[in-house]
A = this chain, B = another copy of it.
Amino acid sequence: MFRQALDDKNRRREYLFRDGRPYFVLISQQFSRGDLEELCDTATAIRRLDRHRDGRGFLRGVLNGYRVMHLFSQPSTRTAESFMAAADKLGATSRSVSDIRTSSLMKGESVEDSVRTLSSFFDMIVTRHHESEFAVRASYALFRSGRPIPLISAGSGHSQHVTQSLLDIYTLRYSFAQRGGIDGKTILIVGDIARNRAARSLAYLLTKFRIRAIHFVSSKAHYPDDDLLNYIRRHDIGVHTHEALGPVLRDHGESLDAMYITRLQQEWDAHTPGERKLGTADEYVLNAEYRSLIRDDCVIMHPLPRVNELPDDWSDHPGFMVWRQVRNGMWIRAALFATIHAADLEIRARATRLSLLDDPRAR
């Protein structure tokens, strides 16, 4: 029932939201454009309040006394630390729990009992699990329990990485703040859309905006599937696929507003069986020589970690936003925490009063 509701666009909101606020955060598609705009505003308010001692003190009172369990079955230091920093900015206490298997299943306990027991000590769960369905199953266990608490998926199997796509959207919106926002922009995505959850989640979220065109660059074997391509076309977004980065930059470089680079190592895997080489084949590397083919205001992003596909030479390009993405991950996750616990209005109001945000009434 819960799983089916998740796949049904019309019933999804009923199960994943409470009082109009996200409660179980499981897939990118659950957010409306309005949800995204508000989340981004809240993230900006938090980021700016954090710059001053008073603002920091205010923020740390927002979720003071709240306890967040970070339940990670997969080692993922950077994502976990980003979530914990976000919780800390709002004054919530974090606990990292990694051995759900040791602690319960070994003794024959059900996942439902484990989740319910551990959740008893917390006000919110952030979870990452190698099994795609773990976050859904845990949410359902909480949904049915007498003491539910909100849950955020921090990456579930290969399927989705919701908060990564939220930080990417936030970074694009931030980068285009003086250029009319995300609407009307042309975006290039390098990567294996079929398997890279960051690139895939971003593509889905971009359909919430009036994007002009998306260029996908990958080997033919890893082109986006027809479902995704049709889904994007139905949103009146131009879609183009390419087999190498050089030609598309020579033909379309000047028109690009942003490039989203990810690792694409399939070709290498194919050519060197036995000897596993890390890194991306040259056709998908953003070589320094391409610099003259793109505009200075073209935004350059990467979800990290990177190997060779985005060389260090790019770090002084005016559009290089990679390190800002990392910090933005912390701000958007804090915004998500605040929104779930109905503290976002208070945060935006404080920031507006201090002239750190545009007054929404003046828009």
Contacts and interface: CB of A to CB of B under 8 A. Distances in A.
A304 interface: yes
Contact of A278 (B107, B147, B279): B107
Contacts of A75: 99, 102-103
A56 interface: yes
A326 interface: yes
A297 interface: no
A104 B305 contact: yes
A81 interface: yes
Contacts of A166: none
A63 to B, nearest CB: 11
Contacts of A65: 56-57, 60
A262 interface: no
Contacts of A78: 103-104, 117-118
Interface in A92-150: 93, 95, 97, 99-100, 102-104, 107-109, 113-114, 116-118, 120-122, 145-147
A84 interface: yes
Nearest to A82: B121
Given A77-B103, A78-B103, A117 B147 contact: no
B122 A103 contact: no
A104 B304 CA distance: 9
A267 interface: no
A250 interface: no
Contact of A64 (B60, B97, B104, B107): B60
Contact of A77 (B64, B84, B88, B97): B97
A5 interface: no
Contact of A120 (B77, B116, B278, B326): B326
A87 to B, nearest CB: 10
A330 interface: yes
A305 B109 contact: yes
A323 interface: yes
Contacts of A146: 323
A54 to B, nearest CB: 11
A309 B118 CA distance: 20
A85 B68 CA distance: 10
Given A116-B323, A118-B78, A304-B117, A85 B67 contact: yes
A327 interface: yes
A118 to B, nearest CB: 6
Interface of A: 56-57, 60, 64-65, 67, 69, 75-78, 81-82, 84-85, 88, 93, 95, 97, 99-100, 102-104, 107-109, 113-114, 116-118, 120-122, 145-147, 278-279, 304-307, 323, 326-327, 330
A-B pairs with lowest CB-CB distance, top 7: A77-B103, A108-B278, A109-B305, A85-B121, A108-B307, A120-B326, A56-B65
Given A67-B85, A78-B117, A108-B307, 8 more contacts: A60-B65, A75-B102, A77-B118, A81-B97, A84-B95, A84-B121, A109-B305, A109-B307
8 contacts: A60-B64, A67-B88, A76-B103, A77-B100, A78-B118, A108-B305, A109-B306, A147-B327
